[in-house]
Amino acid sequence: MPPNLKITPDGNLATAVAAPAPRGPTRREVMEQFVPNSPLAGRLGIELVVLGEDRAELRLPFDPANATLGDVVHGGAIAALIDTAGMAACWADEVVPEALGGATVTLNVDYLAAAVGTDLTAVATVSRRGRRLCFAAVEVRAEDERLIATGSMVHSYG
């Protein structure tokens, strides 16, 4: 008898229904745990504020340890915020990932103004999502809503 058929208690043939495969966490669920537990995000103080479909909002509270000169936020901290926000947006969907990994393929940052003694908020949105690559655009703003930096990144799913 073919493996997809079974005999019912009343002697009839019926198609066997396979049990659903175990379901792992979605990319969004993974990201909700990843950002708060990332060693780099923790060291910089990056916080996950909102994770919505194809969108992530992260916050970098001002910390003198992230300053380059006086109370100017270091460009590397801003770049890390952009990269982390873009990656979070790329993982903000309901797909169960094949693997828990990935990498930033490209990262572009345009610094538009100095971030002087201020908390920063990054909002990342997905521009295009493919099977293996995801493209995101990111804006970083100061507490007074001034645009501090813009960026784009491409994420490759593991």
Give me the CATH number covering residue 57. Answer: 3.10.129.10
* pLDDT of amino acid 6: 67
pLDDT at position 124 over 70: yes
pLDDT at position 65 over 60: yes
Is 107 inside a domain boundary?
Answer: yes
Residues whose CB falls within 8 Å of the CB of residue 65, separated by 6 or more in sequence, listed in order: none
Is 10 inside a domain boundary?
Answer: no
Write out pLDDT tens, residues 10-64. Answer: 766 666 666 565 688 999 999 999 999 999 999 999 999 999 999 999 999 999 9
Range of the structural domain that residue 86 is part of: 25-157
Model pTM score: 0.86
* pLDDT of amino acid 10: 74
